[in-house]
Amino acid sequence: MLDTTRITHYLPSFSFSFEYNIRFHLQRLHLRAKSAFISLQDMPHYPLRFNQVPPLFCEPFILRGFRSIHQPWSYYLKSLFHKHNETINVWSHLIGILYMGYLLFFYYNKRLNFYENSHSWPFAVSLCTAIIMFICSAFAHLFHSKSEKVHMSCFLIDFIGVSFHGFGSGFLQIYYSAPQWFYEKIEYYYVFILLILGILACFLNCFAQYYYCRPYPPIKRICQFFPCGLLWIYSIIPLCIRLYSSNILSHPALICHLIQIILFLIGATLFGFDLPQRCCPGVFDFIGQGHHLFHLCIYFVTVCQMHGVYWDYEEFQKIIDQRSKPELIFCAGSMLSLLAWDIIIVCFFRRKIHKKYHMH
């Protein structure tokens, strides 16, 4: 027979031991976290002021928050957990990587079945291009302060992301959101046009980065914004047609399309005209400057884009499924073609930039 008295005799000590162990492990975990945080704070003190770094690293109307140059790579990696004028730029797009990865591998994969449903492949391509864009941007803003050469190379890589995002947006919106009559007109060459515009955006951005020196003249931003604007306008033509011919409040997809267009215009305006820091130099160094707001706008633009287009696919699935099925080589091949051209462009200008700085 079971002796319950012996069990109850040991229960109090067992309970106390369990509570003690939990408390002990929590204390150890707290001390380790505190020690790791303190070790990160032992880095050289920054932010630096604009007059303490080379002109290449200075942004208009940003006075503080610059990191030291010529430090070990670990210095810039650890700066991910510190306050400087690039912290928001890095974290906004790190979050974008995680969220787009979740949409690609879990949320939309479950709903669209990327492996078997060939009509969902353009959606998968667009999610991949969004992830590449966020990776390129986060990498550039985290590590560009190491040196002049690294700075230039990092933002050449960033322009690959810009090119990819424009291409992926067009690929997504033209395939799923374009009215059938518009899709039938451009069906055979829309990817070719997207490729040309994506390559042009990468090339002109890299050229402007190489050719113009600080203080940058206004023509530099025109050279960068013009091809990106063309790519963006081409990608949203289907959305504009839908918005013009429909009751916007009749479907959540249309609301998403309108929001993403407005957010992109707001973000581009703030970034292009250095707002709001132009009005209050030094006030928005760490949070709230135009570049930060542009990054946040791009994140929410991408989120609205994905959800809005998914709702379009749900609404027009019967029409879309009647189209000729996209081939894997068509979807993956177009993305890889753009990547190949962008890498060639970046390598070309990177060599020219290294020669330029070597001569100096």
List, as residue ranges, the binding site for Zn(2+): 141, 291, 295
- What CA–CA distance (Å, rounded) separates 123 from 109? 10
Contact status, residue 285 vs residue 63, Cβ threshold 8 Å = yes
The Cβ of residue 125 has, within 10 Å, a number of other Cβ atoms equal to 23
Over its C-alpha atoms, the chain yields an Rg (Å, rounded) of 25
Phi, psi of 49 (to 5 degrees): -90, 165
Contact status, residue 126 vs residue 301, Cβ threshold 8 Å = no
Angle of helix 190-211 relative to helix 148-176, nearest 10 degrees, comes to 160
- What CA–CA distance (Å, rounded) separates 147 from 153? 10
Phi, psi of 113 (to 5 degrees): 55, 70
Which parts are annotated binding residues?
141, 291, 295
- What CA–CA distance (Å, rounded) separates 34 from 29? 9
Paired strand residues for 64: 49
Q: How many residues does the chain have?
A: 360
Encoded tokens for 288: 């709230």
Contact partners, residue 271, CB within 8 Å, separation at least 6 = 290, 291, 293, 294
- What CA–CA distance (Å, rounded) separates 63 from 47? 10
| Amino acid making up residue 272 | G
328 HSE (CA, 13 A, CB side): 4
Contact status, residue 338 vs residue 163, Cβ threshold 8 Å = yes
Angle of helix 290-315 relative to helix 148-176, nearest 10 degrees, comes to 20
Scanning 42-145, the segments in alpha helix (DSSP H) are 73-78, 87-102, 108-112, 121-143
